[in-house]
Homo-oligomer: A and B are copies of this chain.
Amino acid sequence: MKLLDLYAKMKGDLNQIEQELERSVASDRTLLGETSLHLLKAGGKRIRPVFVLLAGKFGDYRLDVLKRIAVTLELIHSSSLVHDDVIDDAQTRRGQPTVKSKWDNRIAMYTGDYIFAKALTIVTELGNPQIHQILSKAMVQMCIGEMEQIRDFFNTEQSVRNYLLRIRRKTALLIAISCQLGAIAAGAQRDVCNRLYRYGYNVGMAFQIRDDLLDLLGTEKQIGKPPGSDIRQGNITLPVILALREPSLRDALYREIGIIRDHDGNADTRTAINLIRSSHGIHEAEQLAENYIGKALHALQGLPDLPAKKNLTDIAHFINTRNY
């Protein structure tokens, strides 16, 4: 099944989640309600809700319960995006002006705080302490990950391990717990919850590596923003770390990254991008993403043969080849 067919099949339930997302912030007739709605209406792939719903199929699928988990995770994701936009000084996201550019940084900061608090009010209604514990621990790790990204800006000496730890915290954990919490909320067996966590974690790692590759290989049309955004803001991703290991490229790439750093985000990144594209780093990063996909598929193997298992398999394959 194609990914679009899967979204079409899940449309009814995803629509309900969409309505709940808007309702969650629109109820307060405040500026924060308005800024939050602006952010949510700009859309997004809603991949975390999709994982929650599919994981829920492995237990007692109750949309009223799963909906809360899905909305909570999507709100937490949105809240981290609006804070990231402040850090990255981003003017647009998903083709829409960001909250920080349409309003200002102060408003964006409180919008993030507010959306996060709203997320908590929704999940607390479920009254399940285990879910709160998993969520709050993941939030701490996410904050550390965001911070490590700032710390490592323009650090050309960082290791692959360093990069992997960072994207684990920044991206993979939230996807892992989307799968896990969907299963827990549906009362699935512990082994099923654990397998879905491992699936989500590995898919999340592959997703971020692919995302970082796309920023180097994609066209502006494909990725919705100019390519090279990462390196422009100093975010040294896996292909760059790998390219820096190649003796024939190393010195030139160092120099280019130095120039980009000194131009405070306004430098021409074309030379740097061409150097990275010509390196083995691209292929090696693709391989690593593929390894993670392999592990994700392996985690699925012990699960009962439901249609949702097939859907999760399809999503893993899709992530491995995504170009938008």
Residues of A within 8 A of B (CB): 28, 30-32, 83, 86-87, 105-107, 109-110, 112-114, 116-118, 120-121, 124-129, 132-133, 135-137, 139-140, 142-144, 146-148, 150-151
Least CB distance, A84 to chain B, in whole angstroms: 10
Are B147 and A121 closer than 8 Å at their CB atoms? no
A-B contact pairs, 11 of them (CB 8 A): A28-B140, A30-B147, A86-B109, A87-B110, A113-B113, A113-B143, A120-B136, A121-B133, A121-B139, A121-B140, A125-B133
- 7 extra interface residue pairs, beta carbon distance < 8 Å, beyond A32-B143, A114-B147: A87-B106, A87-B109, A110-B146, A117-B140, A117-B143, A120-B120, A132-B132
Cβ-neighbour of A150 out of B83, B110, B114, B137 (below 8 A): B110
List chain B residues, Cβ under 8 A from A135: 120, 124
A144 to B137, alpha carbons, bound, how many Å? 25
Are B32 and A114 closer than 8 Å at their CB atoms? no
Identify the interface centre among A32, A109, A116, A121: most chain B CB within 10 Å of its CB. Answer: A109
List chain B residues, Cβ under 8 A from A133: 121, 124-125, 127
Cβ-neighbour of A118 out of B117, B120, B140, B150 (below 8 A): B140
Given A120-B136, A132-B120, A136-B120: A143 and B31 within 8 A (CB)?
no
**Chain B, residue nearest A87 (CB):** B106
- SS of A interface (majority): helix
Given A31-B151, A113-B83, A151-B31: A121 and B143 within 8 A (CB)?
no
List chain B residues, Cβ under 8 A from A137: 121
Given A87-B109, A150-B106: A127 and B124 within 8 A (CB)?
no
Cβ-neighbour of A144 out of B32, B126, B143, B150 (below 8 A): B32
Least CB distance, A162 to chain B, in whole angstroms: 13
A132 to B128, alpha carbons, bound, how many Å? 10
A143 to B107, alpha carbons, bound, how many Å? 11
Are A106 and B86 closer than 8 Å at their CB atoms? yes
**Chain B, residue nearest A119 (CB):** B136
Are B113 and A148 closer than 8 Å at their CB atoms? no
List chain B residues, Cβ under 8 A from A105: 105
Least CB distance, A193 to chain B, in whole angstroms: 18
Are B140 and A110 closer than 8 Å at their CB atoms? no
Are B110 and A136 closer than 8 Å at their CB atoms? no
